[in-house]
């Protein structure tokens, strides 16, 4: 639910707050990921125990509908709007097909054989479709990734760095949740076997750190180069999950890993919309945020699928369910560490831009 509503929230922050409040508002909004992570596990544990997985899915559907209704009823309309607008259906279908083909090939590569004709055919086909997507984006009137905007160095470097950094963090939940919730079955599964409630209790300090870091980052961003904040946040996630590759076998170890990585996560999610605001014009901000969200989603899908592939090398299938050994969880965490490190390094490509307190936001000139 948080991931789905984040783009809406960023647009709200951009459009209804004056310049001096945009950073703080973005930090508070980003702190919502910690708030959701704080209460979500308790709620999910109760729903799972009493109503099963269907109860969780129904709750997500209903809460999303209620959130949409509340936004429609209470959030003021954005004053920044083009007179016309059409959905780039062709581009969306091509991008979805290309990414799906690539992810499916990666997921099945171990069974097919990494050098098999089937794997190569899927990869080549996906690449061809993605190239077609890029060609379409150059020709349609209103593309998903407008070439005029995304080929500017400040824009594409920010999109690349933030998408890899934030997408990798979104994918780490796959590894962590499987680690803590899967049972401990000798020679089959080496998860911690926690209940949903126990998981919520142990990880609550981590969620608190995300909230603190996100709100603090929003305040500091008015005075500090956002590139530095993104680099520090990503580096902290590398350190935290790097520690977790060796220490992830008990509650205190999970907390120790998560507090460091959680602080970094809060910084990253808070600074992403700020960096977008700093490198585009007010009229481009909604489109740029949409492009960043789309790119981040693609990064999340790819990293998550790679994590499954890496973990599956050390595990077994029992009665149709795949389980993972400790070495699989360790390698999955190493994969996340590597992707977070890549996000940290990509910050070096981003040129210096106007600071948030100097950048134009939608209502900044009117307030």
Q: Mind listing the pLDDT tens digit for each residue in 114-137? A: 889 999 999 999 999 999 998 998
- Residue 81's pLDDT band (boundaries 50, 70, 90)? low
Query: Looking at residue 4, what is its pLDDT?
Result: 35
Closest listed residue to residue 282, CA positions, set 9, 105, 79? 79
- Residue 365's pLDDT band (boundaries 50, 70, 90)? very low
CA distance 266 to 264: 5
**Which single residue is written with the structure tokens 């490509």?**
349
- Residue 364's pLDDT band (boundaries 50, 70, 90)? very low
Query: Looking at residue 85, what is its pLDDT?
Result: 62
| Torsion sign over Cα 148, 154, 160, 162 | negative
Query: Looking at residue 29, what is its pLDDT?
Result: 63
Residues whose CB is less than 8 angstroms from the CB of residue 79 and which lie 6 or more positions away in sequence, other chains included: 15, 362, 363
Percent of all residues in the chain with a pLDDT value above 70, rounded to a whole number: 83
Contact by Cβ (8 Å): 28, 211 = no
CA distance 233 to 112: 38
- pLDDT for residue 5 is more than 60: no
Query: Looking at residue 41, what is its pLDDT?
Result: 73
DSSP 193: -
Residues whose CB is less than 8 angstroms from the CB of residue 356 and which lie 6 or more positions away in sequence, other chains included: 19, 22, 23, 221, 222, 226, 274, 277, 278
Q: From residue 274, how far is each of 39, 139, 147 by CA, in Å?
A: 26, 30, 21
CA distance 2 to 71: 14
């Amino acid at each position: 639910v948080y991931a789905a509503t984040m783009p809406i929230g960023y647009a709200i922050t951009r459009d209804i707050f004056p310049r001096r409040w945009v950073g703080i508002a973005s930090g508070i909004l980003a702190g919502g990921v910690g708030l959701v992570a704080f209460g979500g596990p308790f709620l999910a544990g109760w729903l799972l125990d009493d109503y099963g997985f269907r109860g969780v899915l129904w709750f997500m559907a209903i809460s999303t509908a209620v959130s949409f209704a509340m936004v429609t009823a209470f959030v003021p309309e954005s004053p920044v709007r083009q007179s016309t607008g059409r959905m780039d259906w062709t581009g969306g279908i091509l991008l979805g097909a290309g990414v799906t083909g690539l992810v499916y090939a990666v997921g099945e590569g171990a069974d097919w054989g990494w050098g098999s004709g089937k794997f190569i055919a899927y990869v080549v086909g996906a690449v061809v479709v993605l190239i077609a997507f890029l060609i379409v984006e150059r020709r349609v009137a209103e593309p998903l990734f407008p070439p005029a905007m995304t080929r500017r160095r400040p824009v594409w470097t920010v999109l690349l760095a933030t998408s890899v950094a934030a997408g990798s963090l979104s994918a780490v939940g796959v590894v962590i949740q499987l680690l803590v919730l899967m049972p401990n079955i000798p020679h089959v599964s080496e998860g911690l076997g926690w209940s949903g409630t126990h998981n919520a209790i142990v990880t609550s300090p981590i969620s608190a750190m995300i909230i603190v870091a996100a709100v603090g980052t929003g305040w500091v961003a008015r005075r500090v180069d956002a590139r530095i904040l993104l680099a520090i946040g990503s580096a902290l996630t590398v350190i935290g999950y790097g520690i977790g590759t060796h220490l992830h076998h008990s509650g205190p170890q999970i907390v120790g890993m998560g507090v460091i990585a959680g602080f970094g996560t809060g910084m990253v999610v808070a600074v992403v919309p700020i960096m977008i605001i700093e490198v585009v014009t007010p009229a481009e901000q909604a489109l740029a945020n949409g492009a960043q969200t789309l790119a981040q989603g693609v990064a999340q899908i790819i990293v998550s699928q790679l994590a499954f592939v890496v973990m599956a090398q050390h595990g077994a299938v029992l009665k149709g369910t795949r389980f993972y050994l400790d070495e699989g969880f360790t390698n999955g965490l190493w994969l996340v560490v590597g992707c977070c490190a890549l996000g940290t390094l990509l910050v070096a490509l981003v040129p210096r831009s106007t600071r948030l307190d100097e950048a134009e936001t939608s209502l900044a000139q009117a307030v």
